[in-house]
């Protein structure tokens, strides 16, 4: 457990370990660019053979004075993802990890989705008697209107892609049908010091979630960054970005803000220690991993 101001923050893991080859995620990755960073990259963020990124898929849970808030919901179990083998028909102990953290699905008041990609919406729903139903029955699920419309097969360009339509239909549409959705656009202030801001590029409606508490600030960055090397190489957008150039603009804006304000970054996929701050270096930024655990 971590502490930010008066808020307890828990990390709920779905998976963690060696995953994609570096260039599969970051096409600009080169051995020459990475060589000066190997002392801190290996083994936390890159395996010893340098052939696989160490990545995590996890949710963040925020326990404020008034609410329990879940940020992003990983891949999910029993979901058909035939074009994405790493995510196809998983059977992971996510809900067991949830319980081990002292949480029940019924405890969640809000589910905040930074965007609507496969590994951020999966546990929005679970399979019950052959139907996809909301996993968190008392929660309002907060979606970006831009992403909702873009990935909806009946509305948007993204929904015309079969893989995206499948994700929308089993992980987003059941929430809409249950009327548990809360659709936001632009800058939106929620309760308990939470603010949602547009951070497009990785997806058209990707958002940044800011948490302010007792003079401290945390940034839940979703896929604005997949890997710490993107803090050093801000121009490196992922292979999964809808608009790589726009993603670079959003990433730089977030890093500049984090550096200026001492904000803690809570990304969705960094390997351990999973979070950290941003410092200055000549011509750019550097990663300061880790956070003091809660007492």
Chain centroid to CA 169: 20
**Along the 295 residues of the chain, how does pLDDT read in single tens digits?**
899 999 999 999 999 999 999 999 999 999 999 999 999 999 999 999 999 999 999 999 999 999 999 999 999 999 999 999 999 999 999 999 999 999 999 999 999 999 999 999 999 999 999 999 999 999 999 999 999 999 999 999 999 999 999 999 999 999 999 999 999 999 999 989 999 999 999 999 999 999 999 999 999 999 999 999 999 999 999 999 999 999 999 999 999 999 999 999 999 999 988 999 999 999 899 999 986 433 3
pTM above 0.85, yes or no: yes
DSSP one-letter code for 114:
S
Q: Tokens 């990475």 — which residue?
A: 34
Residue-level pLDDT at 283: 87
Residues 287 and 278: their CA atoms lie apart, in Å, by 5
Long-range pairs, 285-289, Cβ under 8 A, ≥24: 285/231, 285/232, 285/234, 285/255, 285/259, 286/231, 286/232, 287/40, 287/228, 287/231, 287/232, 289/40, 289/44, 289/228
- Which sequence spans correspond to the domains of the chain? 2-289
Helix, strand or coil, per DSSP, at residue 193? coil
pLDDT digit string, tens, across residues 87-101:
999 999 999 999 999
Q: Tokens 């977030």 — which residue?
A: 254
Cis peptide bond upstream of 273, omega within 30:
yes
Chain centroid to CA 270: 10
Domain spanning 2-289: CATH superfamily: Ribonuclease Z/Hydroxyacylglutathione hydrolase-like (3.60.15.10)
Residue-level pLDDT at 253: 98
Residue-level pLDDT at 291: 61
Residue-level pLDDT at 70: 98
């Amino acid at each position: 457990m971590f502490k930010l101001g008066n808020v307890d923050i828990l990390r709920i893991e779905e998976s963690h370990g060696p995953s994609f080859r570096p260039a599969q995620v970051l096409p600009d990755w080169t051995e020459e660019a990475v060589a000066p960073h190997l002392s801190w990259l290996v083994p936390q963020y890159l395996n010893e053979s340098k052939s696989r990124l160490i990545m995590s898929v996890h949710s963040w849970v925020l326990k404020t004075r008034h609410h329990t808030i879940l940020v992003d919901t990983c891949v999910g179990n029993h979901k058909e993802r035939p074009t994405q083998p790493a995510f196809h028909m998983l059977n992971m102990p996510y809900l067991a990890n949830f319980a081990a953290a002292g949480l029940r699905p019924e405890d969640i008041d809000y589910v905040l989705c930074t965007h609507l990609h496969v590994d951020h919406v999966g546990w929005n729903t679970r399979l019950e008697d052959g139907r996809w139903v909301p996993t968190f029955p008392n929660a309002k699920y907060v979606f970006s209107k831009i992403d909702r419309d873009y990935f909806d097969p009946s509305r948007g360009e993204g929904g015309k892609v079969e893989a995206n339509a499948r994700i929308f239909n089993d992980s987003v549409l059941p929430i809409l049908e249950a009327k548990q959705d809360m659709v936001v656009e632009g800058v939106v202030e929620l309760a308990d010091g939470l603010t949602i801001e547009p951070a497009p590029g990785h997806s058209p409606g990707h958002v940044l979630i800011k948490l302010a508490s007792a003079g401290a600030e945390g940034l839940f960055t979703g896929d604005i960054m997949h890997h710490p090397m993107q803090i050093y190489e801000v121009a490196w957008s992922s292979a999964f970005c809808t608009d790589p150039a726009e993603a670079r603009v959003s990433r730089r804006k977030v890093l500049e803000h984090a550096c200026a304000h001492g904000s803690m970054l809570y990304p969705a996929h960094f390997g351990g220690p999973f979070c950290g701050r941003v410092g200055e270096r000549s011509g750019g930024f550097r990663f300061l991993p880790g956070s003091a655990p809660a007492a």
